[in-house]
Amino acid sequence: MALPRGLAQLGSDLRLGILFRWDGAPTDPLQVRLVEIIATDGSTVLATLDSIEHEPGSGEYYVTVPGELLTTVGRHLDRWYYTWVEGEGEQSAFQDFYVHQSVSLRHYGPDLQAGQRYLKAFPPLAPGSQDGITQADLDAAMNAADSLVDSLFGSDYDMAAWRESPPPLVSILWELLASARAIRFRELRLGLPGGEADSTAARLERSARDLVDRILHGWPERLHLRDAAGRILRPRKNRSVTTPRARTATSDFF
């Protein structure tokens, strides 16, 4: 299994994602052509990846980095080449990830449990995918939420200790994202009606976007990230983020 961005370690496959937004909503560009993986020196290209995973209309794109490329501890970059609309020049967006010697396989929140909290309507887990929703499906939803949290905060904050002790607001956000993804996955797997604006998954996603806006953009009010002891976590200095296409749109924030 490929590890999410925040758990990159030597010799292990890594799944990197990016989320594109247009006027605040997840939106697909015309094309996402390829991704370059850049070494710790900030310039050497370790790999060029063009096998990109994407669910149409989601704004989310993923690539898997083979573990044999990750041979050095330290900060690496992933550069995504994309075109928003036909006739407009290609742009690129940089993100980063830190390759550790080894990592602890933890999520940013408590593991999802079928029948509990936001998943109260979930049936008991099935032993195989032919019989219903399995533990592997919940694991996939939690890993996807990890990837989104990494993408949202990795450019602005030092997340090295967040797996062991995540900020409480991040755990709340993670549970909203993971639960929404699990519910969407159940709808698709079982052929249930889904996608309505008032569905449980849609409500959870709206709550997640509202929380992200408050933390990252200070709108409509600022919420500060705090650690478990209540200390405010400040963004890193001299951080760089993707240049937005329009004032109200960014290509790497949820």
Judge whether 138 lies within some domain.
yes
Same domain, 77 and 133: no
Judge whether 112 lies within some domain.
no
pLDDT, tens digit only, all 254 positions of the chain: 688 787 788 999 998 988 888 877 788 999 999 999 999 999 999 999 999 998 888 888 999 999 999 999 999 999 999 999 988 899 999 888 889 888 766 889 988 988 899 999 888 888 777 777 888 888 889 988 988 898 889 878 888 788 888 999 999 999 999 999 999 888 877 776 655 666 888 899 999 999 999 998 888 888 999 988 889 998 887 654 433 333 333 333 33
Q: State residue 241's pLDDT score.
A: 41
Q: How many domains does the chain have?
A: 2
Judge whether 28 lies within some domain.
yes
Judge whether 72 lies within some domain.
yes
Judge whether 18 lies within some domain.
yes
Question: Does this model's pTM top 0.75?
Answer: no
Unique residue bearing structure tokens 């006739």: 87
Judge whether 81 lies within some domain.
yes
Q: The domain that contains 20 carries what CATH number?
A: 2.60.40.3350
Q: State residue 155's pLDDT score.
A: 79
Same domain, 122 and 213: yes
Same domain, 162 and 209: yes
What is the rounded distance in angstroms from the CA atom of residue 251 to the CA atom of residue 239?
16
Q: Which domain holds residue 201?
A: 117-217
Inter-CA distances, 41 with 6, 151, 247, Å: 20, 21, 32
Please give the full DSSP string across 104-153, using - where no structure is assigned: ----SSPPP-TTSGGGTTPPPPPSSTTTS--HHHHHHHHHHHHHHHHHHH
Pair type for strands 91-99 and 74-83? antiparallel
3-class DSSP state of 246: strand
Judge whether 253 lies within some domain.
no
Judge whether 109 lies within some domain.
no
Q: Is 44 exposed, middle or buried (0-12, 13-18, 19+ CB in 10 A)?
A: exposed
Q: How far apart are the first and last CA of the chain?
A: 24
Of 41, 73, 99, the residue at which a domain comes to its end is 99
3-class DSSP state of 53: strand
